[in-house]
Amino acid sequence: MQKLKKLFQTKYHPQLVDAIIKANFSGALLVNALIPVVIFYLFLGIIPMELLVAWSSANAVVFVLRLILQKKMRQNITIHFWLLGFTSLLYAILPWLVLTYSDPIHLLLVAMIIASIVAGSIATLVSIYHTFFTFVLIQMLGLVSAFIYMNEDIFYLSAILAASLLQLALTSGYKQYNNLTETLRLNKELNNLLNNTEEGFLSFDADLKCQSSFSTECLRIFNTNTIAQKDISLLLFENDTYKREIFQEAIKRCSQSDEAEMITLFLSLIPQEHKINNLDISIECKALDNGLFMLILKDISDTKQLESKIEYQHKVQQLLMNVASNKNDFIDLKNDFEQLLKLLHSHTENSLFNISNIKKELHTFKGNFSQKGMIYISNSIHDLELKIQNLSSQEEILSSSKEANLQESFAKDIAVINAAMGEEFLNSSRAISVDVDAISAIEFELKAFVYKFNLEQQIALNTILSDIHKLKNIPLIEMLNPYKNYVEQMAQKLDKEVLPLKIEGNLSLKVSPRLKLFMKQLIHLFNNALDHGIEDIEEREATGKNPLAQISCSYSINAEILLLTLSDDGSGLDTKKLAQKAVEKGIKTAQEIENMREEELCELIFEENFSTKESASEISGIGIGLSAIKSELKHLQGKVTIDNQLGQGVSFHFYIPLHKNKNLNLYYDAQDNNRGKSIITTIIMQSELFIKKAIQTITSTSKTLEISDPDILFSQIQFSGGFHGKVILLYSKNILEAFSNYMIPEGFNANERDTIYQDVADETMNTIVGLSLQYFDKSIDAVDISPPLPREDTTIFTILESREPKCFATIETQKGTFGIILVNEDT
C-alpha cells in the first residue's frame, strides 16, 4: 500500500517530465562532450572560434531553459545539473573573450547551430519525438549550406557533426521510446492497481481544485462522472458547513506553512469520517511535496453497519439480562402494556377516555421500556409522543396512536426475547403470574364463607387469610434495584458524572403490590434529577461541589407509613423559574403565585403539562411524567414534601400509608388482630340472622361495598375496652323500609318517616351488635359499646370518599342492600 501511495505521488505526468529532463540532459551532455573535440579542431585551425562561442552559448541557453522547466515542474535540481551548467558557462565565456573578428559564412554557421540548439530545446518542451528530427534537420541544413558555400573544411566538420548527432539521436530516441512505453505500461498497471484497491485516491491543489488523476472509486463515492476541477470541500462536505469550513481552514493553513510537523497536525484536524451520498467514508489527507494534497477515501459503511449491529446486540443482551433477572416484573409490564394497546384499539368515539391519562401512561411505559433496553417500542412511543404532545382532540390522538402501530414494534421486541429465550420463557412465566392471581382467588373464596365456621375455626382461617395476603407483598428493594442500572446508563447518555445510586433501607421490608405503579413512575423523578438537576462537571467544580454527583434513595417505616426519600445534590429547584413558567403556561396566575409559599412553588413541578425545558428530550421534558407521580400518590393516599435548597440539591419525601386509608384498618388488613376478625365475622353472622328474620331471604353476601342506591343511611357505634374501634352499618333506603315494617308492624305516618328510619337504623345496630357481644371470642375480655354515635361524626364520609372503601361485607337482599364496615382503631 505504502509503495502504491509513493508511486502515486509522482504521478503528475511523471513519465513526461522524466523524459523531457532526460532528453535535455542528453542534449546538454552531447554539447559538452563535443566541445573538447571542437577545441581540438580549433587548435588545428580547421574551425573558427565563433563556432565554439556559439556552441557554448547555445549550451548555456539550453541550461537556462532546463532550469525554468524544472522549476515549473517543481522538481529538485540535482548537483549534476549544476556541474553541467557550470562547465557550459565556462566554455561559453572563454571563447567570447578570444572572439576578435567576423566572417559572414562563419556567422551564418554560428547562427544555424544556435538555431538548431534553440529549436531543439523548444521542441524538447513540446515533445521529445520531434527533438531529434529537428536536430538532425537543422544539422542537415548546415551541411547543405556548407556545401553551397563550397567550404570544404566546414562541410566535413558539419558532416561529421551531423553523423554523430544522427547516431546519438537515434540511440537516445530509441531509448527514450522504450522508456516511455515502459512508463506508460507501468502507469497503466498502476492505475489498474489503484482502481482495484477500492479506495478513492485523488489529489487537489491549495485552491481545493481536484486534479485530473484519481482512482475510479472516487467517482462511485461522489456519484458523479468526473471530479476534475471541482471543489473538493464541496464534494466532501456539501451539507455540513462546519466541517467544510474546518477542512478549508486546515488546507489554507497547510499551504501557508512549510513545517511538515505542523502540516501533519493541521491535517489531523480534518474530520476523519463523513457520510457522503449515504456512504460512511473515512477521510485521510496528506500533503504531497509538489504543493498538492492527496486524499484517501475509504468506504467504511460495512464496518459501520457491523458496529451498529454490535451495539444492537449489546442492547439485546441488556434486554435479555433485564428480562431474565426480573421476569415477573417484565410479565406484568408486558400485560399492562398489552391492556393499554387493547384499550387504544377497541376504543370507540363515544366511550369515556381520559386523554391526559393516556399520555401519562405512554410516557411511563416509554421510560420503563427504555430502562429494559427495548429499543423498538421505546423509539415508537417516543415518536408518537412527539406527534401527540400538542394535540388535545381525543380523535386525533387516537388515530395517531393507531397509526403509530405500537403493536408491531412491541412484537419486534418480544420476538427478540422469544428468539433468545424460547417462546415458553414468557409463557411459562405467565403461570407464575397466574399463581399470584390464584392466591387472590383463594383469598376471596375463603373470605366468602369464613363466617360459616364456628368461631375457633374462623380465627384460624383468618390468620391463614392474613398470611396468604402477605404472600403477595414484594420486597421494596426489588422495585428500587433496577434504578441502579438505570441511573448509570442515563448518566452516561447525558454525559453526567454520577456516583452509583445509593439505596438505604431494610432489605427485608415488603410492601403491598399496589405500590408497584408508583415505584415505576419514580423513573420520571430520576430522569428529572439527571437531566435538569445535576449540573455539568465543570459547573459543579466551579461551585466547589464534589464533581461526582450523588443520587440517593432511602426508605423506612414508621407507624405503618412508608417514608421514601429521593434526593440529589444537584442544582435544586429554581422556584423563580418554576413560578415564571407556571404563569407562562397559564397553570397559575401571577397573583396566585405571589401568595404561594416556597414549598408550594416547588410542588409546581408536579403540575400537569409543566416542563421548564423547551423541547422534549428522549429522557425527560414532555412535562407529564411528574404529574403521573402526583396522581398515583393521591391514589395511594400518600403525600409528598419537598426539601429544596437552591444550588445544593433537592429531596423529595414521600409518605405512603402501607395500607389504604390508615384510619380504616379493616380486620384482615390489620396485622395479628384476631380480635377484629372475630368481631366482624360474628357481626356478619348476626346481621344475616337478623335480616333473615326481617326479610326472610338473602340473595348474596359479598366482600365489596356495592350499594347502588344513592340514598344511604348509616349508623355507627363505638367499641372500647378489649377492642377499640367502630362498627358502621349501612342501609339502603328500601332495606330500611323493610326493617321499619318489620319493627313497627302497626305502621307510621309518612311525615315521620325520616326520623323513624334513623331510629330503626340505630335500633337494628343495637340489636345486631348486642346479640354479637355474647359470641365474641374469649380473648376479647370485655367490650363496651357506646350508644349509637351522633350522625354529625363524618368518619363515614372519609370512608366512602376513599376510592376503594374497604367494606367487610355487603349483604344483598331482594328488598335492598345492607353493608357492614368495621374500623379498627387499635394501633
Give the cell for residue 607.
403540575
User: Which range binds other proteins by CB under 8 A, 186-194, 537-545, 632-640, 773-781?
Assistant: 537-545
Shortest distance (Å) from residue 240 CB to other proteins: 13
Shortest distance (Å) from residue 372 CB to other proteins: 28
Binding of residue 269 to other proteins (CB under 8 A): yes
Binding of residue 137 to other proteins (CB under 8 A): no
Shortest distance (Å) from residue 273 CB to other proteins: 13
Shortest distance (Å) from residue 370 CB to other proteins: 24
Which residue among 182, 207, 249, 754 contacts other proteins (CB under 8 A)? 249
Give the cell for residue 733.
333506603
Q: Is the Cβ of residue 261 or residue 467 nearer to other proteins in the bound state?
A: 261
Binding of residue 293 to other proteins (CB under 8 A): no
The CA distance from 285 to 750, in Å, is: 104
Shortest distance (Å) from residue 264 CB to other proteins: 8
Buried b (16+ CB within 10 A) or exposed e, 521-542: bbbbbbbbbbbbbbbeeeebee
Shortest distance (Å) from residue 546 CB to other proteins: 10
Shortest distance (Å) from residue 541 CB to other proteins: 6
Which residue among 262, 324, 419, 460 contacts other proteins (CB under 8 A)? 262
Q: Is the Cβ of residue 102 or residue 256 nearer to other proteins in the bound state?
A: 256
Binding of residue 547 to other proteins (CB under 8 A): yes
Binding of residue 257 to other proteins (CB under 8 A): yes
Q: Is the Cβ of residue 547 or residue 787 nearer to other proteins in the bound state?
A: 547
Binding of residue 537 to other proteins (CB under 8 A): yes
Per DSSP, the three-state class of 242 is helix
User: Which range binds other proteins by CB under 8 A, 243-251, 389-397, 465-473, 618-626?
Assistant: 243-251
Q: Is the Cβ of residue 268 or residue 440 nearer to other proteins in the bound state?
A: 268
Binding of residue 792 to other proteins (CB under 8 A): no
Buried b (16+ CB within 10 A) or exposed e, 670-679: beebbbbbbb
Binding of residue 266 to other proteins (CB under 8 A): yes
Q: Is the Cβ of residue 258 or residue 395 nearer to other proteins in the bound state?
A: 258
Shortest distance (Å) from residue 288 CB to other proteins: 20
Crossing angle, helix 482-494 and helix 516-528, to 10 degrees? 20
Which residue among 541, 711, 793, 801 contacts other proteins (CB under 8 A)? 541
Instruction: Please report, for residues 7, 263, 470, 704, the alpha-carbon distance to residue 805 in angstroms, rounded to integers and kept in the order given.
Output: 89, 80, 20, 8
Binding of residue 491 to other proteins (CB under 8 A): no
Shortest distance (Å) from residue 250 CB to other proteins: 7
User: Which range binds other proteins by CB under 8 A, 40-48, 186-194, 242-250, 334-342?
Assistant: 242-250
Shortest distance (Å) from residue 621 CB to other proteins: 24
Q: Residues touching other proteins: how many (CB under 8 A)?
A: 15
Give me the residues paired with residue 715 across strands: 729
The CA distance from 268 to 262, in Å, is: 10
Shortest distance (Å) from residue 262 CB to other proteins: 6
| H or E segment to which residue 821 belongs | strand 817-824
Instruction: Please report, for residues 588, 649, 741, 771, the alpha-carbon distance to residue 745 in angstroms, rounded to integers and kept in the order given.
Output: 61, 72, 5, 22
The CA distance from 156 to 355, in Å, is: 115
Q: Is the Cβ of residue 262 or residue 646 nearer to other proteins in the bound state?
A: 262
Shortest distance (Å) from residue 245 CB to other proteins: 8
Q: Is the Cβ of residue 99 or residue 246 nearer to other proteins in the bound state?
A: 246
Binding of residue 265 to other proteins (CB under 8 A): yes
E strand map for 426-480: 474-475
Phi, psi (deg, nearest 5) at residue 619: -80, -55
DSSP assignment string, 415-435: HHHHHHH-HHHHHHHHHHHHH
- Quote the DSSP letter at residue 621: -
Q: Is the Cβ of residue 495 or residue 614 nearer to other proteins in the bound state?
A: 495
The CA distance from 446 to 451, in Å, is: 9
**260, 315 in Cβ contact below 8 A?**
no
Rg, the chain, Cα only: 50
Q: Is the Cβ of residue 263 or residue 388 nearer to other proteins in the bound state?
A: 263
Give me the residues paired with residue 726 across strands: 718, 823
Q: Is the Cβ of residue 497 or residue 763 nearer to other proteins in the bound state?
A: 497
Which residue among 61, 159, 246, 557 contacts other proteins (CB under 8 A)? 246
Q: Is the Cβ of residue 257 or residue 407 nearer to other proteins in the bound state?
A: 257
**806, 660 in Cβ contact below 8 A?**
yes
H helices of 44-99, where? 49-72, 79-98
Shortest distance (Å) from residue 492 CB to other proteins: 12
**730, 707 in Cβ contact below 8 A?**
yes
Residues contacting residue 531 through CB under 8 Å, at least 6 positions apart = 494, 613, 617, 619, 620, 621
Give the cell for residue 154.
566546414
Q: Is the Cβ of residue 254 or residue 511 nearer to other proteins in the bound state?
A: 254
User: Which range binds other proteins by CB under 8 A, 361-369, 397-405, 533-541, 565-573?
Assistant: 533-541
Between residue 634 and residue 693, which ones bind other proteins under the rule CB under 8 A? none
The CA distance from 135 to 26, in Å, is: 13
The CA distance from 221 to 776, in Å, is: 91
Report the candidate in 62, 66, 57, 61 with the shortest Cα–Cα distance to residue 38.
Answer: 57
Give me the residues paired with residue 282 across strands: 273, 298
Tell me how far the alpha carbon of residue 160 is from its chain's centroid.
86
Residues contacting residue 403 through CB under 8 Å, at least 6 positions apart = none
Q: Is the Cβ of residue 547 or residue 770 nearer to other proteins in the bound state?
A: 547
Which residue among 18, 205, 280, 497 contacts other proteins (CB under 8 A)? 497
The CA distance from 81 to 93, in Å, is: 18
Q: Is the Cβ of residue 62 or residue 270 nearer to other proteins in the bound state?
A: 270
Binding of residue 826 to other proteins (CB under 8 A): no
Tell me how far the alpha carbon of residue 782 is from its chain's centroid.
68
Q: Is the Cβ of residue 338 or residue 541 nearer to other proteins in the bound state?
A: 541
Q: Is the Cβ of residue 261 or residue 594 nearer to other proteins in the bound state?
A: 261
Which residue among 47, 54, 117, 250 contacts other proteins (CB under 8 A)? 250
Binding of residue 261 to other proteins (CB under 8 A): yes
Shortest distance (Å) from residue 67 CB to other proteins: 34
Q: Is the Cβ of residue 349 or residue 538 nearer to other proteins in the bound state?
A: 538
Instruction: Please report, for residues 198, 275, 302, 823, the alpha-carbon distance to residue 279 in angstroms, rounded to integers and kept in the order given.
Output: 14, 5, 9, 72
User: Which range binds other proteins by CB under 8 A, 259-267, 606-614, 651-659, 682-690?
Assistant: 259-267
Report the candidate in 744, 752, 764 with the shortest Cα–Cα distance to residue 816.
Answer: 764
Buried b (16+ CB within 10 A) or exposed e, 293-306: bbbbbbbeeeebee
Shortest distance (Å) from residue 241 CB to other proteins: 13
The CA distance from 489 to 503, in Å, is: 17
Grid-cell match 456512504, residue found = 279
Q: Is the Cβ of residue 541 or residue 784 nearer to other proteins in the bound state?
A: 541
Binding of residue 476 to other proteins (CB under 8 A): no
User: Which range binds other proteins by CB under 8 A, 87-95, 256-264, 297-305, 750-758?
Assistant: 256-264
User: Which range binds other proteins by CB under 8 A, 261-269, 343-351, 362-370, 448-456?
Assistant: 261-269
- What residue ranges bind other proteins (CB under 8 A)? 246, 249-250, 253, 257, 261-262, 265-266, 269, 497, 537-538, 541, 547
